[in-house]
Structure 1
Amino acid sequence: MEFLQTEILENKVSDILWFIGILSYGLLLKRLLSVLFTKILYRFIKHDSVSIQTCIDMLGKPVELFIVLMIVSSSAFYLHFPNAWNLESPENFGLKMILSKGFQCLIIISINWILVRVIKFISLIFQERAALTETKLDDQFVPFFKDLVILLVSTLSFFLILGVVFKIDVVALVTGLGIGGLAIALAAKETLENLFASLTIFVDFPFVVGDSIQIDKVAGDVEKIGFRSTRIRTADGSLVTIPNRLLTAQALENMSSRQFRRAKYHVKLQIETSSETVYKIVHEIQEEVVKHEKIYKTDPGVTRFEGFGEGSLDILVSYNVAGNNAAVLNATKEEINYKIIEIVERNGAKFANPVR
């Protein structure tokens, strides 16, 4: 057909139709091709704890981008720029070079995106496995190594773009940094300190993910240990991010390592209370404390008549609650406090009024 041989901007109508057809057909099927590719990949790394839908949701967008780039590359094969435009070749700076190198960068970026999502999907599987074990070390290592692998893959992609796309000698570039590299290292001093501090945390294990820690005025549960910082969830639900270098440079208390938590306070009786009544109250409180199921049996604590206050007789109540859970400590204190009120009332004594 003569119409198909007609040229528009030095491109035959038939070639333009091939370009439009391949591009349109590919864009319509990109979602289907993405799901198909993801399902094939899922068969190699599948695990019962992570559904295929999760895999599709994570890999869908990057795979679609890669497919679109391949479709554009295939369809663009049928077209060329008019010679009348006198464009520079792809080897020389100009529109063709910009499009060529830009397209190559997008290809590498899309592959890097796919690899990053695959790494995250595999880490989900290992996190599910880690959750089934008693130790918390694997819960801590999985996110750390996930971030480490992602950093390595992304760095490799960056150098790949420099070396393959822009033809830069990466080895010579790294070697020739010299003073510039030293300046960058000095500028990134705190970042490097945080990185080495994170490695120290993983070697010394002062705490792991899930532990309750306190540093300075911040106390809470460790949610994540990263390259630069550690995230702590406080009791009021706030998420506090602390640089790792501060965690290794200051005194840190790991409250999860406690075998017990201590409660200590005074019970003040009226000054008129007889010594016999005080004696009975002290011993009955101690009996209630010792027989409580939450008390740390190895060292339950003491209850004693400590001395004379301003218009009161002071009884020291000190006991240790097994475990490190603050909620259990508070609940135990409440139960024992009710018992103390009953003991004082049963013995006919009264609590001292505060002296003003």
Structure 2
Amino acid sequence: MEFLESEILENKVNDILWFIGIIVSSLLLKRLLSVSLSKVLYRFIKHDKVSIHTCIEMLRKPVELFIIVLMVYFAFLYLHFPLTWNLAATLGLKLVLLKIFQCLLIFSISWILIRLVKFIALIFQERAALTETKLDDQFVPFFKDLAVVTVSIMTFFSMLGIVFKIDVVALVTGLGIGGLAIALAAKETLENLFASLMLFMDLPFVVGDNIQIDKVSGDVEKIGFRSTRLKTADGSVVTVPNRLLTAQALENMSTRQFRRAKYLIKLQQDTPSSTIQNIVSQIQEEVLAHEHIYKPEPGVTRFEGIGDGSMDIQVAYNVESNNVAILNKTREEINYIIVNIVQNNEAKFADLNNRT
């Protein structure tokens, strides 16, 4: 047909229609093609605990970008810039567009690889959740982050080598003093990185343990390259640099078989000694009978001595749990018991504010 052979801006109508058709088709079919490709990838790494819908949602956007970039490249093969514009000679527009295409293509492939890494990590996290040990729960996020960083670095150097034709080997070799300067500038970052490796080698704690360092304590949520996240008892999240975890004394509260409670009960100074003996023995009896007391080492209640305006009874017991909430709940229950015992023995607590 003569119309298809006619030209618009030095491009045949037939070629322009092919260009438009490919672009429109890619926009209309990108969702279908991305879902189909995601299903194919899922067959190689499928797992009963992770649904195919999760895989599709994770891979859909990067695969769509890959399809669009590829189809746009093929679409532009049918067109050329009018020679009268002289753009190729003055601006090198074709070269610029080619570089952009190569960057987007490498980026989309890298994005797909990163999403695959995260999907595989999700599978291993589900498997790790089925085991009793928490060690694998700690390793999976670490190696996932390591793989993501590795893919990102490879993407950066691939762009330098493929797109900008830079000799990557010579670049890395020639860093020399510049690399040393960067290392010195990133001293703390490198310290945290090496500290994280030491944490994985020594394993002073794992994800889920309750630890205390300096004045900070909480449950370990995640151990990363640079820092460790702790969730405190009040629900806030504290980020601690890993170098501090290896440089300071750290207490793993989860390794305890029990937590200790110790405090004084102050009675009035005119309390008879027989009453004090009854209160001491009754408190000790009630403490031993409590379900959360650590029976091998329950602790002891005794008459501590005569204080400044009071008769002091020391109450000490061990709660069979490393959970702070259980410790506090047990203390509260025993405190109520102590108040009842003191009242039943017709004794009174010392009023230290009104001493004469």
Question: Common fold, TM-score beyond 0.5?
Answer: yes
Unaligned runs of 5+ in 2: none
Contact 1:311 1:355 in 2 (8 A): no
> In the alignment, what sits opposite 2:217?
219
> In the alignment, what sits opposite 1:24?
24
Structure 1 position 348, deviation (Å): 2.1
User: Structure 2 CA distance, aligned partners of 1:205 and 1:181?
Assistant: 31
Unaligned runs of 5+ in 1: none
Length, aligned pairs only: 354
Structure 1 position 247, deviation (Å): 1.2
Contact 1:16 1:78 in 2 (8 A): yes
> In the alignment, what sits opposite 2:40?
40
Task: Report the AA paired with residue 182 of structure 1.
Answer: L
SS in structure 1 at match of 2:222: strand
> In the alignment, what sits opposite 1:73?
73
The Cα offsets for residues 263-317 of structure 1, whole Å up to 9 and x where unpaired, read as: 0111111211111111111111111111212111111111110011222111000
- The yes-or-no answer on 1:128 pairing with 2:126 is yes
Structure 1 position 93, deviation (Å): 7.1
The Cα offsets for residues 57-89 of structure 1, whole Å up to 9 and x where unpaired, read as: 111110100010111012111111222233447
User: Structure 1 CA distance, aligned partners of 2:297 and 2:236?
Assistant: 35
User: Structure 1 CA distance, aligned partners of 2:281 and 2:117?
Assistant: 62
Task: Report the AA paired with residue 40 of structure 1.
Answer: V
User: Structure 1 CA distance, aligned partners of 2:92 and 2:308?
Assistant: 92
User: Structure 2 CA distance, aligned partners of 1:351 and 1:189?
Assistant: 58
Task: Report the AA paired with residue 3 of structure 1.
Answer: F
User: Structure 2 CA distance, aligned partners of 1:110 and 1:56?
Assistant: 16
Task: Report the AA paired with residue 289 of structure 1.
Answer: V
> In the alignment, what sits opposite 1:157?
155
> In the alignment, what sits opposite 1:5?
5
> In the alignment, what sits opposite 2:274?
276
Structure 1 position 355, deviation (Å): 3.1
- Aligned pairs for 1:254-269 within 5 A: 254-269=252-267
SS in structure 1 at match of 2:119: helix
- The yes-or-no answer on 1:139 pairing with 2:132 is no
User: Structure 2 CA distance, aligned partners of 1:57 and 1:236?
Assistant: 35
TM-score by length of 2: 0.96
SS in structure 1 at match of 2:265: strand
User: Structure 1 CA distance, aligned partners of 2:76 and 2:137?
Assistant: 48
> In the alignment, what sits opposite 1:64?
64
Task: Report the AA paired with residue 46 of structure 2.
Answer: K
User: Structure 1 CA distance, aligned partners of 2:97 and 2:76?
Assistant: 12
User: Structure 2 CA distance, aligned partners of 1:93 and 1:119?
Assistant: 40
- The yes-or-no answer on 1:117 pairing with 2:115 is yes
> In the alignment, what sits opposite 2:348?
350
- The yes-or-no answer on 1:314 pairing with 2:312 is yes
The Cα offsets for residues 146-184 of structure 1, whole Å up to 9 and x where unpaired, read as: 000111111111111111111111111111111111111
User: Structure 2 CA distance, aligned partners of 1:94 and 1:183?
Assistant: 36
Task: Report the AA paired with residue 179 of structure 2.
Answer: G
User: Structure 2 CA distance, aligned partners of 1:239 and 1:336?
Assistant: 31
> In the alignment, what sits opposite 1:326?
324
> In the alignment, what sits opposite 2:285?
287
Contact 1:39 1:56 in 2 (8 A): yes
- The yes-or-no answer on 1:172 pairing with 2:164 is no
Contact 1:310 1:355 in 2 (8 A): no
Percent of aligned pairs sharing the same letter: 72
User: Structure 2 CA distance, aligned partners of 1:311 and 1:166?
Assistant: 85
Contact 1:295 1:320 in 2 (8 A): yes
SS in structure 2 at match of 1:355: helix
> In the alignment, what sits opposite 2:202?
204
Structure 1 position 243, deviation (Å): 1.1
Task: Report the AA paired with residue 67 of structure 2.
Answer: I
SS in structure 2 at match of 1:295: coil
SS in structure 2 at match of 1:74: helix
Higher mean C-alpha deviation, range 234-243 or range 114-123: 234-243
User: Structure 2 CA distance, aligned partners of 1:244 and 1:351?
Assistant: 48
> In the alignment, what sits opposite 1:236?
234
The Cα offsets for residues 24-80 of structure 1, whole Å up to 9 and x where unpaired, read as: 012111111111111111121111111111111111110100010111012111111
TM-score by length of 1: 0.96
- The yes-or-no answer on 1:299 pairing with 2:273 is no
User: Structure 2 CA distance, aligned partners of 1:131 and 1:40?
Assistant: 27
CA RMSD of aligned residues (A): 1.4
